[in-house]
Amino acid sequence: MMIDLHSHRSTRWLLALGLCALLGLAQAQKKPSSTAALAPQEEPSTMILSDTLHFDDVKRESTFAGNVVMTRGFMTMNADTLQLREDAEGFQYGTGTVKAGKRVFIRQARPEVYEVLEGVGVRAEYNGKSETFDLIGQAVVTRYICGQHFDTVSGERVRYSQKTDVYEAFSGPDSANTGGRVRSVAQPRARADAAVAECKAKEAGLPVPPPSPTAAKPAVTPAAGSRRQPAPARP
């Protein structure tokens, strides 16, 4: 790795920028209760691996290139290039890109609820000012519970807003679906609850509960515009 840093202050700023960008790439965390807010939460460690790194202290920009792997806690992002910057107001922005024929990969594990979120796209963007995260081009976001495939939304662009906790998917010529459409697959909440109960029972060494009689087949809904992902769980 080639590192182009100018001072210890630059190193500290780069680390802070990486932390903030990663907060945006991951799912928004639930707001702490009044009691929990009294005790500050310890930030998980962050690591960015790459073949090269260039940091411009004047422009407040850093570029990681070559097999980039960014890890923060239970979140991981893989890309060929990762660009991070901070504006004059202190807002952070991040862009992950890949070579032709590849897609950026993001994985967010939430072991406390037995859930994993995985997303892919030609490009990943985070806007710290609007608190939105976008997967752009051949975009697909999938939720797994206890290793089982649950909700999926796909299109040309899939956006997640931290402020509103809303998923949006947009159609376009570079959609992951035929005809440039948006496609969503949603499982009933009863099935998700049953999957979590099964994992809890296995961990406790108890008999696995029988399948819920109310479980239904997933609903597939194509759309030309955008829609909210059914009942996404917050990290």
| Helical residues (DSSP H) of 161-207, grouped into ranges | 189-204
For residue 14, give both structure tokens: 């780069």
- ∠ CA 165-74-150, nearest 5°, is 55
Q: Is residue 113 part of a domain?
A: yes
Q: Is residue 170 part of a domain?
A: yes
Residue 55 has pLDDT above 80, yes or no: yes
DSSP helix/strand/coil, 36:
helix
**What is the C-alpha R_g of the chain?**
19
Quote the CA–CA distance of 6 and 4 in Å, as a whole number. Answer: 7
| Helical residues (DSSP H) of the chain, grouped into ranges | 8-25, 189-204
Percent of the chain whose predicted confidence (pLDDT) is above 70: 69
**DSSP string computed for 66-117:** EEEEEEETTEEEEEEEEEEEE-TTS-EEEEEE--TT--EEEEEEEGGGTEEE
Q: Is residue 182 part of a domain?
A: yes
Residues of the domain holding 214: 3-28+44-223
Quote the CA–CA distance of 96 and 76 in Å, as a whole number. Answer: 12
- Output the pTM of the full model: 0.68
pLDDT level of residue 163 (50, 70, 90 thresholds):
confident
Q: What is the pLDDT of residue 19?
A: 35
Quote the CA–CA distance of 108 and 88 in Å, as a whole number. Answer: 30
The per-residue pLDDT of the chain, averaged, comes to 76
170 sits in which H/E element: strand 166-170
Q: Is residue 228 part of a domain?
A: no
Percent of the chain whose predicted confidence (pLDDT) is above 90: 34
CATH of the domain at 159: 2.60.450.10
Q: Is residue 101 part of a domain?
A: yes
Quote the CA–CA distance of 171 and 183 in Å, as a whole number. Answer: 9
Task: Specify whether the CB–CB gap between 218 and 186 falls below 8 A.
Answer: yes
Q: Is residue 229 part of a domain?
A: no
Number of structural domains the chain divides into: 1
Q: Is residue 38 part of a domain?
A: no
Summarize the confidence of residues 119-129 as an average pLDDT: 92
Residue 65 has pLDDT above 60, yes or no: yes
For residue 45, give both structure tokens: 């460690």
Q: Is residue 37 part of a domain?
A: no
